[in-house]
A = this chain, B = another copy of it.
Amino acid sequence: MKVRDIGEFGLIDLISKKTKYKDILVGIGDDAAVIKTKGLQILTTDCLVESDHFKKEWFTPIQIGMKSIEINVSDVAAMGGVPKYVLVSLCIPKDLDVDFIEEMYKGMRKSCNKYDIEIIGGNMTHSNQIIISITLTGKVEKNNLKLRNGAKPDDFILVSGPLGNGRAGLRLFQKNLKGHNKVRLGYLEPKSKLTYGIKIAPFVNSMIDISDGLAPEIRHICKASACGAIIYKDKIPIKEDVREFAKTINEDPYDYALYGGEDFELLYTVSKENLDKVEGFLVGEITEKKDVNLFFKGKEKTIIEKGYNHFSKQRLW
């Protein structure tokens, strides 16, 4: 059955379900959702665009749904917060199978359940590409709220885990290669670092999630904090699988880590005093001088201004 056959009432029935939290006064099915609130609320929104962020030939609809939630949870994690409620705004072609939408929702619910997030509203409309626009709210304690602008000279720069899998997986699919199943799965099913973020938040000075590559993300922190940075290239953690894959197609895995995207690890800066209170991989230092440099084989070079830019090039071709 196609979307065109089921109509709006049918679609609403498809996605509606009773909400479980008592703070939700009105869930899916009215003009808007209504929730009880108190304290600091985080609000973030991010889109997944067909052909740009995913291809139907590569991802299952469940994986698309999961990814749409994970990338937004990653933003809440980067603020030191805990996600709570989701609004799903879906733009879908008329000839899409209704099963496909059901599966996408299954994926969204799967990730939502993992984080105790509730889908409280949304809307559906027609478009040429599938576009999933997610708005996620969360809560944060004042002491845990960490921004891009808190980095200080001499802070250490850390990342929460290995980088480069996002871009490696993309290259794998672009080149239509077999094998490399861990790289493949890491790309298809990225996971946010929510628990990790909550744990380290009280001890860090600044934090951001790595959705566009280490280079542009550290530049975001430096710009917001009015400082610079040195990244030690050979300290950047990259998994053996990713290195092996890069080798097979003669590409540099450090390019994936620095200028690729969609790793959804956390990037954060920590003062010397707090360094032993956090986990992570130390990859550099914050400097007073405002340049962002890459240190490699005894030489510093300026990190060139590339990275996943949504406009200067397209993602999937």
Contact = CB atoms under 8 A, between A and B. Distances in A.
Given A42-B32, A43-B121, A47-B123, A312 B131 contact: no
A14 interface: no
Interface string A71-106: 000011011010001011101001000000000000
A49 B126 contact: yes
Copies of chain A in the complex: 2
B35 A41 contact: yes
Interface string A127-161: 11101010101101000010111000000000000
Interface-central residue, A81, A128, A140, A224, by most chain B CB under 10 Å? A128
A127 B30 CA distance: 29
Interface stretch (A1-9, A164-172, A173-181, A244-252): A1-9
A86 to B, nearest CB: 10
B309 A8 contact: yes
A209 B47 contact: no
A125 B42 contact: no
A276 interface: no
Contacts of A78: 31-32
Given A31-B148, A33-B42, A36-B39, 5 more contacts: A6-B311, A34-B145, A37-B39, A45-B121, A126-B314
The 9 A-B residue pairs with the shortest CB-CB distance in the complex, in nearest-first order: A32-B44, A37-B37, A133-B133, A135-B135, A31-B78, A31-B75, A45-B87, A37-B41, A45-B89
